[in-house]
């Protein structure tokens, strides 16, 4: 559809949708191309070509493990974070189905703000007899420890929580939850697997698998400048999961299927570069986000979501993600006009595109449907500039009165 409003002419497109996919870093593109041309062997083959490919695979594993403060043997490559999340859930199902008949239903606890890849897969387990309990966040988008404590019981087998919410940027208290779960496990004598989706944290915030205290972590390449087609499950030593795919036994039997070596090596190179510059990137992102928030608050009828974002301490929200609402303008309408003007933003998770208009995450935070429906997500990256954000603000200020009139 052709849009009618003409606003400031933008020379070069402005990309504010890094949480959906980050531009590929040159170091990652070069690594992928080099591997594709030079290391075509199958890492499982025992001839020289295979051995050379295997060496690159293991070097990438070591590099990624270092980036996450994990051990090399704790890194299992997958095709995506979606797959890493599924492995954990599929394992819970496989263990349940293979155990002797139980009278009680196993319980899984997740939050209501999880990404679709964890949410949908968990909900699908209901029909196999799992009891799914959900944690509602507060109005600030952060899940509370008390409710988690209330939901843990002797039947609990798995808790799945994200570290950084992909729509609001809210940082969840994962280390505290891990301690709570550990204490419960200790007193009840029941082992509970604690899985964390760290997709929006890895490469942007400090992240140490060793310190977080979780049993497993899902990460993805294309969110930090790697290529699509690579992700990883970081799994604590001595924690045993059953595989989602069976076959050639790659990835220590947990993930059969020939490894996507080019994307995996590119992933480790991109992660390494992001980690090297993490401190300066983070300081810059905090500065840019603070400026953006301050300037957005001066535009009438623009609401920060959650409102707490305006004065929140820096460690409660990722400085790379911000959601704002401009009621009564539907988020999708604003997104299309911004796109036409040369600016890419999203109306929430890219994985929700083409689905119903309902925003599960924002509504779980208690937002009215109209406010939630008018939300757009702005997500920045280490290469975003203040100038780009100022142009976005200028275009937004131009567009809002016009869109309000026609809404």
Q: What burial letters (b/e) apply to 250-259, b meaning 16+ CB within 10 Å?
A: bbeebbeeeb
DSSP 267-280: HHHHHHHHHHTHHH
- The smaller minimum CB distance to ligand PLP, of residues 119 and 303, is found at 119
DSSP 124-159: GGGGGTPEEEEEPB-TTS-B-HHHHHHH--TTEEEE
Per CB under 6 A, which region of 169-177, 286-294, 296-304, 346-354 contacts ligand PLP?
346-354
Least separation, in Å, of the C-beta of 206 and ligand PLP? 17
- The smaller minimum CB distance to ligand PLP, of residues 216 and 220, is found at 220
- The smaller minimum CB distance to ligand PLP, of residues 54 and 195, is found at 195
Instruction: Figure out which of the listed residues 42, 351, 363, 397 binds ligand PLP, where binding follows CB under 6 A.
Output: 351
**How many residues bind ligand PLP, per CB under 6 A?**
15
Q: Does 117 help bind ligand PLP (rule: CB under 6 A)?
A: yes
Instruction: Figure out which of the listed residues 7, 200, 281, 374 binds ligand PLP, where binding follows CB under 6 A.
Output: 200
Catalytic residue among 67, 196, 272, 351: 351
Q: Does 214 help bind ligand PLP (rule: CB under 6 A)?
A: no
Q: Does 197 help bind ligand PLP (rule: CB under 6 A)?
A: yes
Least separation, in Å, of the C-beta of 117 and ligand PLP? 5
Where do we find the tokens 């979606």? 82
> Catalytic site residue 351?
yes
**Closest by CA position to 134, among listed 171, 157, 166, 159:** 159
Stated length of the chain = 407
- The smaller minimum CB distance to ligand PLP, of residues 56 and 352, is found at 352
Question: From residue 147 to residue 186, what is the string marking binding to ligand PLP with x (rule CB under 6 A)?
Answer: ---------------x---x--------------------
C-beta of residue 334 within 8 angstroms of C-beta of residue 375 = no
Structure-block tokens of residue 21: 């996919």
What span, in angstroms and rounded, lies between the C-alpha atoms of 125 and 85?
Answer: 13
- The smaller minimum CB distance to ligand PLP, of residues 133 and 350, is found at 350
C-beta of residue 124 within 8 angstroms of C-beta of residue 93 = no
Q: Does 359 help bind ligand PLP (rule: CB under 6 A)?
A: no
Burial label for 174, CB within 10 Å (0-12, 13-18, 19+), is: buried
Structure-block tokens of residue 162: 């994200």
Instruction: Figure out which of the listed residues 60, 68, 81, 312 binds ligand PLP, where binding follows CB under 6 A.
Output: 81
Q: Does 80 help bind ligand PLP (rule: CB under 6 A)?
A: yes
**Closest by CA position to 67, among listed 254, 181, 225, 195:** 225
Per CB under 6 A, which region of 100-108, 286-294, 323-331, 348-356 contacts ligand PLP?
348-356
- The smaller minimum CB distance to ligand PLP, of residues 91 and 200, is found at 200
Q: Does 226 help bind ligand PLP (rule: CB under 6 A)?
A: no
Q: What is the DSSP letter of 335?
A: H
Q: What is the CA radius of gyration of the chain?
A: 22
Q: Does 384 help bind ligand PLP (rule: CB under 6 A)?
A: no
Where do we find the tokens 């799992």? 130
Active-site annotation, residues: 351
């Amino acid at each position: 559809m052709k849009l009618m409003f003409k606003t400031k002419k933008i020379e070069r497109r402005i990309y504010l949708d890094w949480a959906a996919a980050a531009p590929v870093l040159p170091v990652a593109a070069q690594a992928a191309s080099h591997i594709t041309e030079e290391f075509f062997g199958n890492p499982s083959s025992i001839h020289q070509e295979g051995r050379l490919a295997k060496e690159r695979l293991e070097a990438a594993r070591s590099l990624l493990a270092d980036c996450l403060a994990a051990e090399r043997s704790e890194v299992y490559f997958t095709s995506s974070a979606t797959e890493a999340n599924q492995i954990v859930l599929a394992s819970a199902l496989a263990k349940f189905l293979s155990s002797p008949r139980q009278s009680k239903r196993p319980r899984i606890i997740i939050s209501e703000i999880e990404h679709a890849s964890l949410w949908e897969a968990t909900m699908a387990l209901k029909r196999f007899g799992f009891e799914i309990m959900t944690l509602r966040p507060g109005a600030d988008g952060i899940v509370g420890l008390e409710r988690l404590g209330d939901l843990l019981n002797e039947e609990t087998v798995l808790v799945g929580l994200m570290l950084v919410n992909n729509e609001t940027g809210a940082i969840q208290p994962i280390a505290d939850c891990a301690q709570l779960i550990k204490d419960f496990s200790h007193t009840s004598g029941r082992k509970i697997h604690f899985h964390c989706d760290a997709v929006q944290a890895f490469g942007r915030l400090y992240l140490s698998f060793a310190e977080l205290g979780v049993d497993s972590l899902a990460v993805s390449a294309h969110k930090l400048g790697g290529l699509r087609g690579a992700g990883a499950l970081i799994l604590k030593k001595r924690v045993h999961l059953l595989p989602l795919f069976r076959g050639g036994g790659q990835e220590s039997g947990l993930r059969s299927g020939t490894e996507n070596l080019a994307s995996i090596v590119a992933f480790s190179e991109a992660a390494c570069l992001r980690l090297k510059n993490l401190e300066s990137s983070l300081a810059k992102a905090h500065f840019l986000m603070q400026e953006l928030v301050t300037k957005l608050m001066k535009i009438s009828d623009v609401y920060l979501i959650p409102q707490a974002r305006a004065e929140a301490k820096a460690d409660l929200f990722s400085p790379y993600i911000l959601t704002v609402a401009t009621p009564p303008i539907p988020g999708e309408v604003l997104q299309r006009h911004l796109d036409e003007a040369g600016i890419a933003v999203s109306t929430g998770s890219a994985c929700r595109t083409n689905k119903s208009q309902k925003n599960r995450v924002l509504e779980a935070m208690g937002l009215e449907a109209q406010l939630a429906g008018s939300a757009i997500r702005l997500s920045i990256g280490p290469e975003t500039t203040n100038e780009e954000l100022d142009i976005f603000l200028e275009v937004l200020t131009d567009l809002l009165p016009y869109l309000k009139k026609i809404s």
